[in-house]
């Protein structure tokens, strides 16, 4: 965690930046030649989204850090409210997030 020396933290961050940039770079490099709807890229897209789905669920159900001190029920409830509002309000992002976060603050206070 925070015991990690500054250099190691900087390297980690730079590594993550490079690991992200590589996709952007490859996109520019091969824009003309890559078939982004081929089976391999389709599979990579599925892998990517499955990871994101897993990360969201994990952050809500098994959070790390300050949210650990809040009850699972509150997190789940506020999450469902926020997501439900998103669809109920015709896919409007900001009101949905605002209502979800406000419900969470109300529940934990």
Partner 1 sequence: MISDARTVTRLAIRDAVGFPSITLLASMTGFGSLVHESGLPLVMAIAATAGIWGLPGQLALVEMHVAGVSAFFVILAVSLANARFLPMVVSFMPLMNREGSRTRWNFALVQMLSINSWAAGLKRFPEIERNFRRRYYIVFAVICMSAGILGTVIGYLGVGLMPRPIALGLIFMNPLFFAVLLAGIQSRASMIALIVGAPLGVIFHLVTPDLDLLLTGAVGGTLAFWLNKRLPHRESTQ
Rounded to a whole number of angstroms, the minimum distance from the CB of residue 8 to partner 1 is: 7
* Cα 6 from Cα 12, distance rounded (Å): 10
28 vs 73 by CB, closer to partner 1: 28
Rounded to a whole number of angstroms, the minimum distance from the CB of residue 32 to partner 1 is: 7
Rounded to a whole number of angstroms, the minimum distance from the CB of residue 45 to partner 1 is: 6
- Closest listed residue to residue 61, CA positions, set 47, 80, 82, 46: 80
Burial class (CB within 10 angstroms; exposed 0-12, middle 13-18, buried 19+) of 107 = middle
31 vs 73 by CB, closer to partner 1: 31
């Amino acid at each position: 965690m925070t015991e990690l020396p500054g250099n190691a933290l900087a390297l980690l961050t730079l590594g993550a930046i490079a690991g992200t940039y590589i996709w952007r770079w490859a996109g520019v490099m091969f824009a003309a030649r890559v078939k982004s709807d081929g089976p391999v890229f389709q599979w990579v897209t599925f892998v990517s989204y499955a990871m994101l789905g897993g990360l969201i669920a994990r952050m809500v159900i098994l959070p790390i850090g300050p949210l650990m001190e809040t009850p699972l029920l509150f997190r789940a409830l506020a999450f469902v409210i926020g997501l439900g509002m998103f669809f109920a309000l015709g896919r409007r992002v900001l009101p949905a997030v605002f209502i979800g976060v406000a419900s969470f603050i109300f529940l934990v206070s």
